[in-house]
Amino acid sequence: MNRERERTERPVRRQPISGARGATIIGPTNPAREAENPDLMVPPSVDHGTVANLRWSFADSHMHLSDGGWGRETTARELPIATEVAGVNMRLTPGGVREMHWHKAAEWAYMLKGLARITAIDQDGHAFQDDVGEGDLWYFPAGIPHSIQGLGDDGCEFLLVFDDGFFSEEETFLLSDLMAHTPKDILAKNFGVAESAFDRIPQKDLWIFQAPMPGPLESDRIAGAGPVPESFSYRMLAQEPMRMRGGAVRITDSSRFKASKTIAAALVEVEPGGMREVHWHPNVDEWQYYIEGRARMTVFASTNNARTFNFQAGDVGAVPFPMAHYVENIGDTTLRFLEIFRSDHFADVSLAQWLKLTPHELVRAHLHVDESVLNGIPLAKMPVVSG
């Protein structure tokens, strides 16, 4: 029975053959891995040349396990082309704490599942506490100390994004690490208490640890010098999306989320058969995180170079500035993914709009297309189009 189930569940082995081109693989192979990336095994005929790898899966990242949760990261070490942004996928149990810390890079986050309590103070002593849930964001500038704690029945999982592709979560400035490496007589002098007050402080960093579940948010409120001038959290899903026939887009940059000075993002939803239109970004690289669904992306890198990649939930994509690309939903459920940029604002250029707003005689001289093609392009930008 088990052997029969194995035979039926084993991935179909696809061969690198397209028409008269290619040949079967007769050496070692990994059918399961190849099935995840069919457009690498048999590239579309338009693919050509050498384009760097633009895909990484968090499933291939090292998992750092701790009492209270786990974390795994995708940096320029894992995806060398992505030098502007790094990402961390983190899970906290109910009561699990990402200990009080700060970073050299700014931290932006998207809540994937569950509930968390975040706290911080700024350089002027303004205190911040908030409870965040699925679809909520937070942003802590570099050097701002903060913490995260899992709430509810199942804690939380979230995506952290840092405005430096070479950032590593392992280089975080941790409270416990600071205290363990400061002489106790200095701690005593700093806090105006006896040295014995620090007899039980941890001798190594906590990183993530289990703690009692906190009470209601109001019981955790500390006013300090008052509220932070710009809230460190934002309800992205409460933002009204731009709706199109093929899906919807929410764009959140510093024009809406005032505190987020170095990270801009778009949450893109594409229905089956639809696509994120052919476009490019005129300011910075794009870093992607796929939340659900299956996608295909072709990236045009100029000089006769183009390459196609496949993505599913938990994958990271990268598109260097200012390469043209599209993202197509190739599954039978809604595709949801984040486009993330190291910038204070979101900007893109639409291929269709460029052609629509250029004298049509000039466009026809280039492409030899009928006027009906150009007339059918809407005047307004359509980030998501139906199939």
Query: Residue 218 and residue 220: Cα distance in Å, rounded?
Result: 5
Which residue type does 120 have?
Answer: A
Residue-by-residue DSSP string for 178-240 = HHHTS-HHHHHHHHTS-GGGGTTS-SS--SEEE-PPP--GGGG---BTSB-SS-SEEEGGGSP
What distances in angstroms separate CA 168 from CA 82, 86, 157, 284, 332, one per listed residue?
Answer: 13, 8, 18, 21, 36
Query: Residue 257 and residue 263: Cα distance in Å, rounded?
Result: 10
Helix (H) or strand (E) holding 10, with range, is: none
- Classify 103 in phi/psi space as left (phi over 0), alpha (psi -120 to 50) or beta: beta
Neighbours of 378 (CB within 10 A): 11
Reduced to 3 states (helix: H, G, I; strand: E, B; else coil), residue 288 is: strand
Helix (H) or strand (E) holding 139, with range, is: strand 136-140
- The β-bridge partners of 128 are 120
Query: Residue 341 and residue 253: Cα distance in Å, rounded?
Result: 9
Residue of 230, 292, 339, 371 marked catalytic: 339
Q: Quick check: is 328 catalytic?
A: no
Query: Residue 368 and residue 376: Cα distance in Å, rounded?
Result: 16
Query: Residue 348 and residue 344: Cα distance in Å, rounded?
Result: 13
The residues carrying an active-site annotation are 339
